[in-house]
Structures are given as structure tokens and as C-alpha cells.
Chains A and B, each alone.
Chain A
Amino acid sequence: MPLDQNSKRDFKVIGKRVLRPDGIDKVTGKAMYGADMTAPGMLVGRILRSPHAHARIVSIDTSAAEALKGVKAIVINADLANPEDEFFADIRDNCLAREKVLYDGHAVAAVAAVDKATAKSALRLIKVKYEVLPHVTDVDEAMKADAPVVQEGRADESAPAGSSQNVTSHFEFGHGDLDAGFAKADKIIERSFKTAATHQGYIEPHACLASLGSDGRGELWCCTQGQYNVRTICSEVCGIEASQLRVTASEIGGGFGGKTTCFIEPVALALSRKSGKPVKLVMTREEVFRATGPTVSSSTDVKIGMTSNGRITAAQAKLRYQGGAFPCGTVEFGAQAAFAAYDLEAVQTLGWNVMTNRPKEAAYRAPGAPMAIFAVESVVDELCQELGLDPLETRLKNAARKGTLSSYGPTFNDIGLVATLEAAKAHPHYTAPLGENQGRGLSCGFWFNFGGNTCVSLNINPDGTVGVVEGNPDIGGSRASISMMAAEELGIPYEKVRTVITDTNSLGFNDVTDGSRVTFAVGLATIKAARAAIDNMCERVANIWGIDRDAVEWVDGAAQPAGPNAGSHPPMSLAEIAAVADQTGGPIAGHHEVNADGAGVSFGVHLCDTEVDPETGATKILRYTVFQDAGRAVHPDYVEGQMQGGSVQGIGWALNEEYIYGDDGRLQNAGFLDYRVPVASDLPPIETVILEIPNPGHPYGVRGVGETSIVPPLAAIANAVSRAAGVRMTELPISPPKLLKAMSERG
């Protein structure tokens, strides 16, 4: 749906900082999250997890646990169904291991009991006999031909012959003559990089309350980024029909991509089916770390050639991502995004997806892009240092723009990168003075965004208020944005609209809240639904006035005669039309269903000042500024919130966060004390500059903003630290011991 011709119109609601509708519930403790629901007679579920990184399950003896008083059901993998599709079979085998446990923390069996204490006691009575197998947790080790094989026969036709079976797929993108390009360069830098696996780190652990009868009818309450997706997965994994399983999404305590799949819901349903009672299953934080999706860890080689005046002549990246114990599809997005910010004559990216004995990777905000762009932007920065060039001018000189053949294939149309870079250049941050042990870093970032399947139903209530029904969990204020777009289109005050997120049986299918899609796609469907309702109202008014439909137009929340030939009639407001709905044909509503495209790619530029402590190797972020194109900022507070939140997740990734595995293949830091996410005292204010370059694919010009902000921080910080410390940091996180070592080796 294209940008309206009148997109420069004076918006009345869009762009205002209105109050969110769920505010009071969330500041008073009333809002209901995943673990806050109860049901009469409910049981408590608990999961037994593997202490081994890789082992064959020889036997599982549940007899002693079953005999414990208060234990009502025990389930293992065999209690689940047999979906044909590998995608669902993998989720099933991740929820409860089949034949082998594939990582430390892999679920083996689950218990439902009358209370938590009994359930915990029952877990200790389940006897699992393991045959321990060799394991591998490092991506480069896992690619070696003689590496322990995590799963056999999982590689697709793209996997290179002769490599380990852990390499499941291979991708290549790019264009041009690399050799000729590198030959033209005055300076070539080639570097290798590593990034650790990081966790999405949502504060709310996964939680659900399941009720499933032996007739296959069920109710499921859970925290998820997509209730329809949960329904699809649980139907497949539990062998029930989608229509019979009603899934209701609770308020969600953060997701960031990590709640786009299932870890416990099918298990809770199976326990409920077997026990005949509702079962509540809530993960502990340790379980969240050990057994839900972190992002991939990566190993990357980047080679870039540049002329002495700063033009890139050729660029190449080789990306190796491990996505845990199942085949993943992440490296292709890193490989496509790596050089997206640049206009390049010769570019090639190669990527390999690799399995290891680690938890199954889940999406994390712009999945695959941050680690690739970290490596690329680090090399660009080093080239600028070596050649004595300004890093912002150099990026401007090489920036992709309209008409650039992108590194991933298509030719760009309208993109906002140059404007974003110009905004950074003009900002006082870029020229502010720096002190001793301080450095300034800069990075571009990129993400694709998408639209996806969306349904919206919009009802005109008899009292002239409006209800919007949509199906995408609200992670960061989207209900406000959707109500704003409905109000804008209908020409009524924001306060007259209420948007609710409904269950799977009350609206058609909706894709997950991901891909930065909700404000774009649900907004688009809401505008269309409002237009349908307006059309219906105009038709009724035409009948009342006895004139043609075409002679009625909608202006400022009311139907009015369109031009002098339509006759003289006082405008009829939405409320007045609603009041006579019974007499003019019955209830008034509009709805829209779409698989939305045209989301438009998104670029961001981050500037960061850091100070390094030569005594301890600690890094302090002194100043941080985010520049990002939002297309149109519907609710600026929540656009800024996305930019700030993504940046800080990226700061954690750059400086502190990492999955640490011992030689035994066990995760050593499964808690917030040892897996350190940024806290308030680690950070300065995060300044934001929103650019608004309308997206031609949305009637108001909206562009997704949720994901791009996590992409630039990795390199922005690494570049700032490398300049401050006088040594190039190529492995994330840049934790104090690592930086101290690098600085002492520098001399």
C-alpha cells in the first residue's frame, strides 16, 4: 500500500506523545504477564535437564517419580506427536530430547505435581542413563572434518563437500571482480573477528498455563511474541487441530526475538493432557540461559581494499555462525547485511551455518546482522586510521544511495543512509573534544524489516467510540501507535479508540511480533480497516441525504457533502452516524487482512565516546548518540525507546555479555550475576536523533525501527575503544581482562 499522495498533510495525532493505554496497569502491578495467571486445581510443572553437553539417552526410568505422592503426570519425547516437517520436529526435539541430549540444559523429561516442592522432588527420582559422547561448542572447531558430529544428515545441498556434517548450509552473495578491485587498492586490511553468543535477556522468563483435554480441545495462556505461531507449533508438536487450541498472549515481559518460538508450551500441554488438569510451567532464570535461544556466536574474516583518498575498491567477508544443536538459518542475513551500507564495485560475502553442542539459537533483534557489521565496520575504521581519513567522510564517500547495486543483489531505491550520516556529521557530538584515554567510534547499521501476515478488525461502537482488534503482542507501546493511526484516519481523538490484542480464535492469522513489523504492518491494516469503515459510513450518509455515495466525503471525523453539487447538508460526525447505525443497516465495522510487503530497509548511524582505564581494562561509555530513519515516527517516545533499548543491548554485547562454556561443554554463567547485562550505572544518557524519510510502502511513510538499533553499537564501541586504547580489538565482548591484556601486549 503506497505512501499517500498527501503524505505531507498536517497530522493531528501522528507524532504526538500520547499516553499509552496499558500504562496504569503496568505501573500498579495489575498487568498480567505469563506467570501471573492461575487456574482452579492447577498443577505445577518442572523440567529435568541434561547435565551433559552431548550424550545418548540409554534409558529413562520414571517409575520412582510416578510413585511419589502428589505427582500427576510425567512426559518424555515419546508423549509428543510426529510432525512431518523438520522445522516442527526440531522444536519438538528441543522441547524434550529424543535419542540424544544435544547440549547442557537440554530438556529430557517433565513432571506435573500438586506443588513446586513435590515436582522438584520428583525430578530427582527420574533415573536417566546416559552414554556420554564427545562434544563441540566452538564454531571453528565444529567445522573441522574430524569434529564430533552434533546431528547426522542435517546438511542441505549447499553445504560444501568434505566439510564436517556440522556445516548445514552455505551462502554466497556479491558482485564484481574482487581481484581487480583489490589490485586498485592503495591499502588492504584483512582481519579476523570473534563475537560471543549473547542472550536476548528479557527480564520475564518463559511462562505458560496450559489446559488440554483428551478430546484435543485446549486453552493456553503464555508470554510470547506471537500467539498464532505458538498455536501452529503446539498443534504440530502435540498432534491437535489448530481450531481446537485457543492461545491467549499474556502481557509480555520482553522478547527481542527470543519469544518467537516454543520451549515449554507443548510440554505443558502434554502434561495437562496426561494429568487431566491445568498445568502451569514457568522457567527459572538458569533454565532461560541454559535452554532458550541465545544468538549465534561468530567467527569472521574481513578483507577490504581502499584507495588513499578513501574509496573502497573491493570487499570480502567470510562468516561462520554456530546456531546451537539444530540447523539454523542466520548466517545468510549476516552475509546479506554485512556491506549493505556501501556502494561497492566488487564485493563478496560467504557464510556457513554450523551446529554445535549449545542451545538452539533463537532470533535476536536483526538476527545475524550485528556480528557481520561489527567486523566490516571495524576494518573500515582501521583503514581510515591507517590512511589518515575522517571516518564519517569516508563512509559518506562510499555510502549506498538510491541507484546503488546493493551487496545482497537488488538495486536500492529510496534509502536514508546519506541523510543519516549527514545528521551525524552535523551533530555537535561528532566534533566535541576528547581527553586522554578517550576515543570516538562510529558505525553504520542496517536491517531489512518486513511486513507479514496481519489482520485487523475495527468496530464503530454505538456511542461513537472505536475498538480496534489486532493479534500482535505489544512489546513496546504498539497499542498506542495503532490507536493513533486509527484515530488519525477516522479523524477522531486518540482517547476515543481502544486497541486490544486478541486470542487465536477471535481473529485470523497474524505473524509474530518480529521483523520490526508491527507499527508498519498492523498500522497499515488498521488504516485500511478504518478506510473501509469510512466508506461504509459515507454510503449510509449518502442514503440519509438522498445523494450519490460519490457526493459524500470524509473530513475531520465527519461525512460532509463533496462540493456544491451535493447539496447543502450539515456534516454528520462519526458519533452521529454511529447513533443511527441500527436504522441504517446495522453495526458498522471495517476489517483488513493482508500479507504486507514494502516494509523498506532501515539504516542507522551511532556515535560513541569511550574512556578506557589503563589500570583495569574497564571501559566507560561517556557519550552515545543514535541517528536513525523512522520513516514517520508515529509515537516519538516509543521510537526513541527502541533506539535507546537496542543500543544498550548492543553495548552489553560489545563490552560484557557472553556465554562461557567450560571444557566439559557446560555453561558456566547461567545467571544475571555472571552474565552481566548493562545496568543503569554503566551508562550515560542515550541521545537520539530521529530522521523521517517517508517509506514509500506505507500510507503515512512508517518504517520499522525495532531492530536496526542493535546493529551499530558493536563496532561503534569497538572502534571507540580501539582508538582510545591504541590497539585494535577484534573479539567481543571487550571485557576488562581482554582489554588489559591487549593494552599490556601493545606496550
Chain B
Amino acid sequence: MVRVKLWGSLRSLVDGQEFVEVEASNFKQLLDQLEQQHPALKPQIKRGVSFALDGVIYRDAWFTPISDDNEVVLMPYMVGG
């Protein structure tokens, strides 16, 4: 199981949990599982999320492999100027 860290304001949508666990081997599966198990997260995922994998931020990249040993943190979709 991959342990996904959620930012503070998402936690209220998943009964206050800071971490949720999903079965996933890449980012796409992770998003699908999050939407399926926690439908309240759907609107934010639809608006866009980035994720940090062991400290490296990825903006999209569905097929980035993820394993149970990775630190996975959900982040708002990255922008710039």
C-alpha cells in the first residue's frame, strides 16, 4: 500500500486523516484509487494536482512508478510566472 500525504485542507474531506493508503504502482492508479475510495477528493483532483515523490515534484506524469517505500505527497497543481 502506498501512503499518500494530503495537505491540510484536504484532510477534512477524508475524515481528518493526514495520510490515506491506496494500492497503486503508478501515479495514475494512485489518482484513480483516491477518487474511488475518497470521492470527496474528486473536485480537487479534477482541478489539478501535482505530487512529490521522495521530494521531487511531478506535475502530471501518470506513469511515474510508485512503490510502498516512496514518500508520496499530494500538492496543488504547480504554476509559474
Chain A interface residues toward B at CB < 8 A: 156-158, 170-174, 200, 256-258, 260, 329, 332-333, 336, 348, 350, 363-367, 408-413, 448-452, 514-517, 595, 597-601, 697, 707
Contacts and interface: CB of A to CB of B under 8 A. Distances in A.
Nearest to B61: A597
Given A363-B79, A367-B81, A515-B80, A595 B7 contact: no
Given A157-B43, A411-B55, 10 more contacts: A171-B76, A173-B7, A348-B8, A350-B8, A363-B80, A366-B81, A409-B7, A411-B54, A411-B71, A595-B59
A559 to B, nearest CB: 34
B80 A173 contact: no
A492 to B, nearest CB: 32
A158 B6 CA distance: 14
Contacts of B80: 257, 363, 366-367, 448-450, 514-517, 707
Interface in B24-81: 40, 43-44, 47, 52, 54-61, 64, 71, 73-81
Contact of B8 (A172, A363, A451): A172
The 8 closest A-B CB pairs, nearest first, are: A515-B80, A257-B81, A172-B8, A410-B52, A363-B81, A409-B73, A413-B55, A172-B9
A363 B80 CA distance: 7
Interface residues of B, number: 30
A597 B78 CA distance: 11
Contact of A413 (B47, B54, B58, B74): B54
B13 interface: yes
B52 to A, nearest CB: 4
Contact of A408 (B11, B44, B75): B75
B5 interface: yes
A156 B8 contact: no
Contact of B79 (A174, A515, A697): A515
Given A366-B81, A413-B54, A599-B57, A329 B7 contact: no
A158 B61 contact: no
9 contacts: A170-B9, A172-B7, A172-B8, A260-B81, A408-B7, A408-B75, A409-B7, A410-B73, A411-B55
B25 to A, nearest CB: 18
The interface centre, meaning the residue of A257, A329, A450, A599 with most chain B CB atoms within 10 A of its CB, is A450
Interface of A is mostly: loop
Interface of B: 5, 7-9, 11, 13, 40, 43-44, 47, 52, 54-61, 64, 71, 73-81
Given A158-B9, A363-B80, A598 B43 contact: no
B60 to A, nearest CB: 6
A250 B9 CA distance: 42
A412 B73 CA distance: 12
Contact of A157 (B13, B52, B75, B77): B13
A348 B11 CA distance: 14
Nearest to B54: A413
Most buried by B among A258, A329, A516: A329
A364 B55 CA distance: 25
A601 B78 CA distance: 12
**Residue from B44, B59, B74 whose CB has the most chain A CB atoms within 10 Å:** B59
A409 B7 CA distance: 7
B56 A515 contact: no
Nearest to A255: B81
Contacts of B40: 157
A86 B58 CA distance: 24
A513 to B, nearest CB: 9
A156 B64 CA distance: 29
A256 B5 CA distance: 33
B59 A450 contact: yes
Given A411-B71, A597-B61, A329 B76 contact: yes
Contacts of A258: 81
B76 A336 contact: yes
Contacts of B77: 329
A364 B79 CA distance: 11
Given A172-B7, A363-B81, A515-B80, A413 B71 contact: no
Interface centre among A157, A363, A412, A707 (most CB of B within 10 A): A157
Nearest to A514: B80
A336 B57 CA distance: 13
Contacts of A365: 81
A656 to B, nearest CB: 20
Contacts of A333: 76, 79
Contacts of A363: 79-81
A452 B57 contact: no
A600 B55 CA distance: 9
Contacts of B73: 409-410
A450 B61 CA distance: 13
Nearest to A331: B76
Nearest to B7: A173
Nearest to A86: B47
Nearest to A696: B56
Nearest to B62: A595
Contacts of B57: 410, 448, 450, 597, 599, 601
Nearest to B47: A156
Contacts of B59: 450-452, 595, 597
Given A172-B7, A260-B81, A707-B81, A410 B55 contact: yes
Contacts of A329: 76-77, 79
Nearest to A697: B56
A367 B7 contact: no
A595 B81 CA distance: 18
A451 B57 CA distance: 10
A156 B43 contact: yes
Contacts of B44: 156-158
Contacts of B13: 157
A451 to B, nearest CB: 7
A365 B47 CA distance: 22
A413 B9 contact: no
Contacts of B55: 410-413
Most buried by A among B8, B13, B64, B79: B79
Nearest to A410: B52
Nearest to A413: B55
Contact of B7 (A171, A366, A601): A171
Given A172-B9, A173-B7, A173-B8, A410 B71 contact: yes
Contacts of A409: 5, 7, 52, 73-75
Nearest to B5: A409
Contacts of B75: 336, 408-410
A514 to B, nearest CB: 4
A332 B8 CA distance: 11
A461 to B, nearest CB: 34
